[in-house]
């Protein structure tokens, strides 16, 4: 168990949750997939819109071969890059 990674991951999740402006849809889908993988949460997507569930399922499918720690690191990288490069 990588405690430092867990702390960084939680900080990145908090940063996303505290952000009030809307995120781009493709960014949110990637965050969703990495978060689900990182937290080992495979509940079915719960949107009322089937198309959104399909996108979420596909996003998860695309990262099925990475570990939980890799997913945490990718989530952290996505968040850091987003906040670094946003206008």
| pLDDT, tens digit, 9 for 90 and up, residues 29-79 | 999 999 999 999 877 777 888 888 899 999 999 999 999 999 999 999 999
Please report whether residue 17 resides in a domain.
no
Q: SS3 of 41, please?
A: coil
22-26: average pLDDT: 92
pTM of the model: 0.88
Q: Which domain holds residue 78?
A: 3-7+25-85
- Number of folded domains in the chain? 1
Residue 54, CA distances (Å) to 27, 44, 61 in order: 16, 10, 10
Q: Can you give the pLDDT at residue 60?
A: 93
pLDDT at 86: 76
36 lies in some domain: yes
CA–CA separation, 4 vs 6, rounded Å? 5
Return the DSSP state at 65. T
CATH number, domain with residue 58: 1.20.80.10
For residues 30 and 71, the answer to whether their CB atoms sit within 8 Å is: no
| Contact assessment for residue 47 and residue 62, using Cβ atoms and an 8 Å cutoff | no
**16 in a domain, yes or no?**
no
- Residue 74 domain-assigned (yes or no): yes
């Amino acid at each position: 168990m990588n405690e430092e990674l867990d702390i960084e991951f939680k900080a990145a999740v908090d940063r996303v949750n505290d952000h009030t402006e809307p995120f781009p849809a493709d960014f949110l889908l990637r965050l969703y997939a990495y978060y689900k993988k990182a937290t080992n949460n495979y509940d079915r997507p719960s949107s009322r819109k089937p198309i959104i569930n399909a996108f979420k399922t596909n996003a998860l499918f695309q990262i099925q071969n990475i570990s939980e720690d890799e997913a945490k690191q990718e989530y952290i990288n996505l968040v850091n890059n987003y906040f670094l490069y946003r206008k």
